[in-house]
């Protein structure tokens, strides 16, 4: 009997987690208006005429809803879309980071790697009109406040975001 309980327990935990995730997604308001923050990753060079550029767009809306649209890994020429909801406390931290972000690249002497960039990345706060563009993997790095915002948004939108105190440190550039 003990073995049966041990075997069933992980499935019960998984079912509870999935039910909680569905409830959280149901509570999240729909995306409305312009995103407050958007990251667009695309090719450095324009594709040949007639070809669609392979871009990925990650957006966060004021309601806490986030979306990601990018090329499908399984079907050529098709796009995949994902989305979710950022918890209200995490959304407050993200909005603070957004207000502090300067949307500039680092100044002074900047060390980059020798690899050729493969993607152009555009970071934007659409409602305030702030924008900055850099390249990956070896473009000029973002200023500290914008880099903290980028990491904050990525962490807050994860399936299992870090605890709030850890996210707060990330969003404030302390980690």
How many domains, in total, are found in the chain? 1
Give me the pLDDT at residue 143, please: 93
Other C-beta atoms closer than 10 Å to the C-beta of 146 total 25
Question: Above 60 in pLDDT, residue 15?
Answer: no
| 18 pLDDT more than 70 | no
The parent domain of residue 136 ranges over: 2-171
Averaged pLDDT, 130-141: 89
Q: Looking at the whole model, is its pTM more than 0.85?
A: no
Distance between CA 168 and CA 175 in Å, rounded?
9
pLDDT value of position 166? 96
Which of 46-50, 73-77, 79-83, 111-115 is the most confident on average?
79-83
Task: Look at residue 53 in the predicted model and tell me its pLDDT.
Answer: 81
The confidence score (pLDDT) of residue 106 equals 85
Any idea what DSSP says for residue 142?
B
Spatial separation of the C-alpha atoms in residues 34 and 11, rounded to whole Å:
40
Rounded to the nearest integer, the mean pLDDT of the chain is 83
């Amino acid at each position: 009997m003990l073995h049966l309980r041990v075997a069933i327990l992980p499935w019960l935990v998984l079912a509870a987690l999935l039910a909680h995730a569905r409830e959280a997604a149901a509570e999240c308001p729909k995306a409305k208006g312009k995103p407050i923050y958007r990251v667009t990753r695309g090719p450095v060079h324009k594709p040949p005429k007639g070809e669609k550029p392979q871009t990925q767009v990650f957006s966060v809306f004021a309601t806490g809803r986030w979306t990601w649209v990018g090329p499908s890994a399984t079907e050529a020429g098709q796009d995949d879309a994902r989305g979710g909801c950022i918890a209200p406390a995490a959304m407050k931290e993200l909005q603070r980071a957004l207000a502090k972000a300067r949307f500039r690249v680092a100044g002074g002497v900047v060390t980059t790697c020798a690899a050729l960039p493969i993607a152009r990345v555009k970071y934007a706060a659409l409602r305030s009109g702030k924008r900055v563009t850099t390249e990956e993997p070896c473009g000029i790095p973002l200023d500290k406040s914008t880099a903290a915002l980028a990491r904050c948004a990525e962490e807050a939108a994860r399936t299992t975001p870090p605890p709030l105190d850890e996210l707060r440190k990330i969003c404030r550039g302390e980690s």
